[in-house]
Amino acid sequence: MRFLALGGVAGPVLFIAVLILSAGLRPNYSHATQFISELGARGTQHASIMNFAGFVPSGLLIAAFGVSLLHVLPRQRFSTVASAFISFFGLGLAVAGLYPCEPGCPQEEPTLHDGVSIAAFLSGIMGSALLARTFHNSIAWRGLSLYSAISSAAACACLIALASSLDSRVLTGLWQRLLVGTLFLWCAVVGFRAFRSWGPPSDAAYEG
């Protein structure tokens, strides 16, 4: 059970590695303007690599990390809901890989992939925001409170910038990578911290 916490580290590392590999297989692919999902778009070359070596396993690892938080954090309403949000973030990534977008990921006709992706991003943002509150009220985790709040706010800002760039497609890929990178880094930091401090949560060390 303890190693589930490392899903927060392994999932992002695996995803980024597969992203770099998949992009390298497409000489004309642009990280600055194109969606990550375009590497796994339906019917495109090497799409299965991004989907089944990147999205699906990485998402499941992050979902496992979310489950692990239920074991190490104080059993409070906010921490339980936040852990569920983080798990849904991971599951959303996995489902996005199972239901890829059309080539170019056009926005004119939203698909299941689009809806799941947006829900996953919002879940990651909400989960990290709620955990900022949980961490603030926990003596053992208080050091991660401000970082979690900043990460959530930064990810939210990137999501807004991403949405604003959809029509022009100027720096769309960059905003998406900053969004994903912010949430992934947060998962890795918290996952590693959870792994190191593994043990039953102590409600006595919770203020609130």
- Partnered with residue 206 across adjacent β-strands are 138
pLDDT value at residue 103 = 93
Contact 152, 129 (CB under 8 A): yes
Containing 92, the helix (H) or strand (E) segment is: helix 77-98
Residue 98: which region, alpha, beta or left (left: phi > 0; alpha: psi -120 to 50)?
alpha
Q: What is the pLDDT of residue 1?
A: 76
Q: Cα separation of 176 and 159, whole Å?
A: 7
In 3D, which of 87, 98, 79, 58 has the Cα closest to residue 140?
79
| pLDDT values of the chain reduced to their tens digit, one per residue, 208 residues | 789 999 999 999 999 999 999 999 998 999 999 999 999 999 999 999 999 999 999 999 999 999 999 988 877 888 999 999 999 999 999 999 999 999 989 888 778 999 999 999 999 999 999 999 999 988 889 999 999 999 999 999 999 999 999 999 899 999 999 999 999 999 999 999 999 987 766 544 555 5
**Phi-psi map region of 97: left, alpha, beta (phi>0 left; psi -120 to 50 alpha):** alpha
Helix (H, G, I), strand (E, B) or coil at 138: strand
pLDDT at 108 (0 to 100): 80
- Which residues make Cβ contacts (< 8 Å) with residue 52, sequence separation at least 6? 97
